[in-house]
Amino acid sequence: MLSQGPLEWPLSSAELEDLRWYLEDYLRSPFGVYGDRGPEVGQKIPAWGSKIYEAVFGELIARNGEVPGLNEPQRTELLIRSESPALLGLPWELMCGPDGPLAVNLTGMSRTLADLEPFGQIFAAGDRLRVLLVISRPGGTMDVDYRLIARPLLERLGAIRGTVELMVLRPPTLALLDVVLATAVSRGKPFHVVHFDGHGALADPPGRQARRADEQAGSHQEAVLAFEGLGGGADLVPASEVARILKFGRVPLVVLNACQSGAVGTDIEAAIATKLLHEGVASVVAMAYSVYTVAAAEFMTVFYERLFAGDTVNAAVAGGRRRLFAHSQRPSPKGPLPLSDWLVPVHYQAGNVVFPQMVTQPVGDTTELPASLSSLRQSGPAGPRDAESDRADAVFVGRDSYFLPDRTSARDAASDGAVRTGRNREERARRGI
């Protein structure tokens, strides 16, 4: 049933800022007044969700007494459609009905552009899930630790009943991404997922000419992703350019774990995701706020597990949210504390991607994956993010502070030439030369 009418967003900018603070800053220093404020904000989340639910469905409920489909949540998906990236970027996953959060209870909840022609269902070939992990740290040793996502994700992938081929793009440059994706296509084994772990922003594209004031109605800034340059530092690449490379590489699914891509009050996360959809990416899973590494890794593990089980991306995202909802303890300087971060993962889609040829290992006890994740959580570091990085007994993945400067300086002319040759070859292929 379709209900149309004006929507008045019910949460104030102050409430949105409280939500951002709670999700991103509270557990970094949960002491004193902040120790009291955090739980208070967390307790407001159901009421905020109810306000959004009433704003969206209030007229429908008043007319029909219910929202059709919500009485069968495991057969219902909710799709938020708008022409505005800013509107799509609002925290719709907060929405809470009589039985709890819709993002947790429904089969799926996603966002899309109203002016985008739907792709329908997209079947990705291959019996192994091929993931390319792009970890961009243009700030060098002053940036977020290289291992923060890679290490816990690697620890948890062993619990999945299927094979995940995980490749880390080193160095994380746009040129090498182009070559690696094109090479995978030429070998008949394109990547299914590109997972970008880095920074996003809104920026003026390089070389933009100054315009007269009367031509500057609205923002001319573009959504960009920060790759690393060959000589180090940031290479701010428009999301549209990244999307074209992904489309040529036949990548149906992109995961954005951009460290600054979801700050409430900006349009960054939505702008990047919607630009990727416009340029032909079928599905984008993003983290709408900064997320704890353990939580991000557990979400992704359940997400990949559900893809192997035959779920669509939309349903797999819902499965990952349920994991975060049911296991809400996150590390802090005071030890594990509850955090309602199940609403952080968001899904933008132009088409629903499924992997029908994935091969799973024999399934035994259905509690195997949750039990494995719980065991890893208990054995893993329990401190805050910085302490988590510096533990002496942590699993070795790489020591950035020692190797990063050497790695950057080692990007010599030979590797640069190889990348340039590859890009020239692929550019000729695009042009049909």
Domain at 120-204+218-409: CATH architecture: 3-Layer(aba) Sandwich (3.40)
Number of C-beta neighbours around residue 28 at 10 A: 12
More confident residue, 38 or 413: 38
pLDDT of residue 17: 93
In whole angstroms, what is the distance from residue 61 CA to residue 51 CA? 14
Q: Which tokens belong to 12?
A: 């104030």
Strand partners, 354: 123
In whole angstroms, what is the distance from residue 15 CA to residue 21 CA? 10
Under DSSP, is residue 416 helix (H, G, I), strand (E, B) or coil? helix
pLDDT of residue 345: 92
In whole angstroms, what is the distance from residue 39 CA to residue 37 CA? 6
pLDDT confidence of 33, banded at 50, 70, 90? very high
pLDDT confidence of 212, banded at 50, 70, 90? very low
Query: What digits encode the pLDDT tens for the residues 269-312?
Result: 788 888 889 888 899 998 888 777 778 888 888 888 888 778 88
In whole angstroms, what is the distance from residue 11 CA to residue 329 CA? 26
pLDDT confidence of 227, banded at 50, 70, 90? very high
DSSP state of 43: H
Beta carbons within 8 Å of 71's beta carbon, 6+ residues apart: none
Task: Say yes or no to pLDDT of 410 above 80.
Answer: no
Domains of the chain: which residue ranges? Answer: 13-113, 120-204+218-409
Query: What digits encode the pLDDT tens for the residues 236-276?
Result: 899 999 999 999 999 999 998 764 443 333 467 788 888 88
pLDDT of residue 430: 44
User: Cα 19 to chain center, whole Å?
Assistant: 18
pLDDT above 90 as % of the chain: 35
Beta carbons within 8 Å of 426's beta carbon, 6+ residues apart: 178, 179, 182, 248
Least confident range from 57-66, 170-179, 394-403: namely 394-403
pLDDT confidence of 142, banded at 50, 70, 90? very low
Least confident range from 146-160, 171-185, 192-206, 419-433: namely 419-433
pTM of the model: 0.79
Q: Are 106 and 73 in contact (CB under 8 A)?
A: yes
Beta carbons within 8 Å of 210's beta carbon, 6+ residues apart: none
Residue for token pair 């070859």: 425
Residue for token pair 């024999």: 362
Q: What separation in angstroms does the CA of 44 have from each of 11, 103, 205?
A: 11, 17, 40
Residue for token pair 């960054």: 268
pLDDT confidence of 115, banded at 50, 70, 90? confident
